[in-house]
Chains A and B, each alone.
Chain A
Amino acid sequence: MRNPQLNANGELIHLLSTEGLPREALTRILDIASSFLEVSDRDVKKVPVLRGKSVFNLFFENSTRTRTTFEIAAKRLSADVINLDVARSSTAKGETLLDTVDNLVAMHADMFVVRHSSSGAPYLIVDHLHRTGRSDVHVVNAGDGRHAHPTQGLLDMYTIRHYKKDFSNLTVAIVGDILHSRVARSDIHALNALGVGQVRAVGPQTLLPTAIEKMGVRVCNDLQEGLRDCDVVIMLRLQNERMNGALLPSAREYFKGYGLTPKTLALAKPDAIVMHPGPMNRGVEIDSEVADGPQAVILPQVTFGIAVRMAVMSILAGN
């Protein structure tokens, strides 16, 4: 089956997942992002790449940081950005997802940035656009259920490359609630495509998906073992709102076993960087001393995220 992200010439027209993207495609996005990074330092923080284009932010699930950085990225590309509070308007009145899409296409949308709590929702939109002959409208997945969050994965790769230059000899530990994390999945696919040395999935067994080792990771149930000698630590948020079952005794218990503190971080290499996709739960998965410490690159991640999203949107719009 054709990769739905690519057109007949193999060019990227939608970004749905980092899974299945070749190394060259990932590297190209990162290279172009490095050119966009400089735009945000200019007197006029704008380039005319998407001038006259309309980008619709369709967020069926709450998000402040991702929606804002997509909005900033689109505006710095000179696009017109329309934010739809779909969860509270049309959907609440009973309109289906695809009817909403058809209406926005009729308003001459050029690109949709979609977040949805159901895995696969952006694929449904891409499939619908394809069937209705509107593949000229591009879709960016801004997070779907537990499945994928490709721009977060890409900005994580950008951050790692910025600080570590080369992926081949790196050990990357992804720590925490991997079961519910689309960020972890997008990171693992991208890291493996970029040829990273080793990826470790670190967390209690109840928060690791079954058979995750098939994704090409080493499973560590022990934090100490997982952090030892690693170059990059990616902390994940403990997704309280998704924890209905008895996966953990308590948040405090979790911090004791899996919280990143100066003491546990000392097991990693001395120049290891600490990343977090945000929002952080201080004192649950990460100690404030680490979050505000010299090894944390959590705020640069946010800055890089804008450049990466500018790169993704301009590549899609040009193909």
Chain B
Amino acid sequence: MLYPLIDEQEMIKEVARKIAEERIVPKRAELDEKEEFPWDILKEMAQADLFGIFIPEEYGGLGFGAFENCLAVEQIAWGCAGVATTYAASGLGAYPILLFGNEEQKKKYLPPIARGEKLAAFGLTEPDAGSDAGAIKTTAVKDGDYYILNGTKQWITNAGEAEIYTIIALTDKKKGPRGASAFIVEKGDPGFSFGKREKKMGIRASATGELIFEDCRIPKDRLLGREGMGFIIALKTLDYARPGVGALAVGLAQAALDEAIKYAKQRKQFGQAIINFQAVAHMLADMATQIEAARALTYTVCKYIDTKPKDFSKYAAMVKLFASDMAMKVTTDAVQILGGCGYMKDFPVEKMMRDAKILQIYEGTNQIQRNVIARELSKEYK
């Protein structure tokens, strides 16, 4: 076996795969077509313990790490990248609480996330602050025992569906990025509402929307860490989440390769299966090789993260960059191999190609990933 797994890891993989095969694959085309949020599937995933994989046992989780989480994300993404994005985004929303929350915050918020009873979300991006995250304008002003939030977050995954949001807002505008802080905001908090629900090219089963804060009043104990730590929390959270995007890309690309091979073996032209033509066979060989390389990088970095290194930004960025570029290429080639069928909605690969594009964009564009890697390289070689 190329990647030996211990029994528990094998179990996690099997459970996620079973959900993908039996619950997600039969419904994915419909979820995509109707832009329907997959609550039924998420409930099944919750029942199967998938939401608590990396959350410690004392907070209701299973107490595994980034690697086990990535095994699950990969299998769910094999079924549907939209469902996998919803799933992984709840993890993204949980990480700031897990990494920087105090004991009360962890005890209050992590168990319902681990049980899958409540979804979490993470809100950093704003209309004028995407790659330039330091340009956020949302403010949080202290008022006695409360903070009052004002501003708008944009393109937030799980917006409206999640119950628990980690929001980055400025507590001291003069300090710029150093004046940002992270807060837990709950659905239903006064002054917190949801704006436009986006219509997307891909991952259409996932919800993406606006968070609107209008004099949103939250108790001061919702502050994560200390004032001014907002960007440290955001960047660390993204470091943990990016290998998850890698796992998502590997699962999605594997699904596209599986479809391409199945088709190439049964499609006959010029009197034989098209897999017998070198032009097709070499494409499949390249796709399989690229997937394996991305999987190896993803698994290796996830296992490294589980050794609790001080800094792994560079490797997290590499996984996200390499695996998402790979998934875009592999899904595009899968459409090419299926030819006319590949372009039709009767076959799943056109959806996979649409879904793959976002992986190069969200959680930091691949251009930003290169910046992160280059910055680290520059530090290493000074």
Q: Do A and B bind each other?
A: no
